[in-house]
Amino acid sequence: MNWIHSSRAVVLGVLLAVALLTAGTVGAVQIAGFDDAPDSAEVGEEVSVEVELTDLYGDNVPDDEWTLTGDSELGGADWTVIVRDAGGDEVDRVDPVNESFEVGIDRDANHVTVDISVTGDIPEIDEFDYEDPEVEEILAMELAQLTADGDRATLADGTYYIHAYTEESREARTAIDDAHEAAEDADSDSARDDVDDAITFYNNGEFESAANTANSAQESVESSQQTRQLLIFGGAAVVVVGLLVGVIYYWRESQKPTSKLQ
């Protein structure tokens, strides 16, 4: 097979894959708005996700009449669902009380777009994973088509997750990020071990220990880098450093009460 043949085969393959993909999911419904929703939020915080659905009768929602359903893991999820006609006027509205809603979509009833919003609190998360932040995600909105036999066919791109954190988990994560960077920059194995320990603490939900371990890893890298440099100066320098440290210490002590920053 020469080059032209093989590249043509690749193109064909890709086209086929795309065709299969689009046919395989309930997909032509267009969903806009997830871009504006928060990526992450603190546990207990109230968040809202709002989207607009258009192209309600695309190829793969086969019927002119179907049932749209939505789910959310947000605490006390409060949905507002408004169905509009081509002019943007409200034709139908559902105010469900529960975590989910169902609404009939009907071409003959002039249903053209749907505005959906859900507001609720980020629930407690019971599992943390530093390396796999998806574990810390909350399903904020999942939109699906309810098929005749009661199955749910999730709409393509109709699912939105929010990364949940607590103040402590976020602080610990930042500390680990920083320590990880410092350990890699310095190429220090002992600091890497400390970072691993910090991650273990983190994954166990012991955020204070995680942050402390990460911070001390970072500090040890920074100070060991300095020490390594200083050693190059040789034995005599040690005396100088001793002196210097003394001077700095004395200076710092004498300066202490005038600090603007600490």
Partner 1 sequence: MKLAMIGFGQAGGKIVDKFLEYDARTGSGIVQAAIAVNTARADLMGLQNVPQESRVLIGQARVKGHGVGADNELGAEITEEDIDEVQGAIDNVPVHEIDAFLIVAGLGGGTGSGGSPVLAKHLKRIYTEPVYGLGVLPGSDEGGIYTLNAARSFQTFVREVDNLLVFDNDAWRKTGESVEGGYAEINDEIVRRFGVMFGAGEVGLGDDVAESVVDSSEIINTLAGGGVSTVGYDAETVEEYNSGGLLSRFKSNNKDDMQTANTTNRITSLVRKAALGRLTLPCEIEGAERALLVVSGPPEHLNRKGIERGRKWLEEQTGSMEVRGGDYPVHEPNVAAAVLLSGVHNVPRIKELQQVAIEAQENIDEIQKESEENLESLVEDNEDELDPLF
Q: Is 231 among the residues that bind partner 1 (CB under 8 A)?
A: no
Size of the site for partner 1 (CB under 8 A): 31
Q: Is 250 among the residues that bind partner 1 (CB under 8 A)?
A: no
Nearest alpha-carbon partner for 157 in 17, 79, 38, 52: 52
Interaction pattern, residues 28-67, with partner 1; x per rule: CB under 8 A: ----------x--x---xx---------------------
In this structure, how many other beta carbons lie within 10 angstroms of the beta carbon of residue 91?
15
Q: Is 240 among the residues that bind partner 1 (CB under 8 A)?
A: yes
Nearest residue (CB) to partner 1, 12 versus 251: 251
Q: Is 261 among the residues that bind partner 1 (CB under 8 A)?
A: yes
DSSP 25: S
**Mutual angle of helices 167-186 and 189-203, in 10-degree steps:** 160
Stretch in the footprint of partner 1 (CB under 8 A) among 4-12, 49-57, 148-156, 219-227: 219-227
Amino acid at 200: T
Nearest residue (CB) to partner 1, 2 versus 259: 259
Q: What are phi and psi of 184, to 5 degrees?
A: -70, -45
Q: Is 107 among the residues that bind partner 1 (CB under 8 A)?
A: no
Q: Is 174 among the residues that bind partner 1 (CB under 8 A)?
A: yes
Contact 201, 190 (CB under 8 A): no
Footprint on residues 176-215 left by partner 1 (CB under 8 A): 178, 181-182, 185
Dist. CA 249–CA 241, nearest whole Å: 12
The number of residues making up the chain comes to 262
Cβ within 8 Å of residue 145, ≥6 positions away: 26, 61, 66, 67, 68, 69, 152, 153, 155
Where do contacts with partner 1 occur on this chain (CB under 8 A)?
38, 41, 45-46, 167, 170-171, 174, 178, 181-182, 185, 222, 225-226, 229, 233, 237, 240, 243-244, 248, 251-252, 255, 257-262
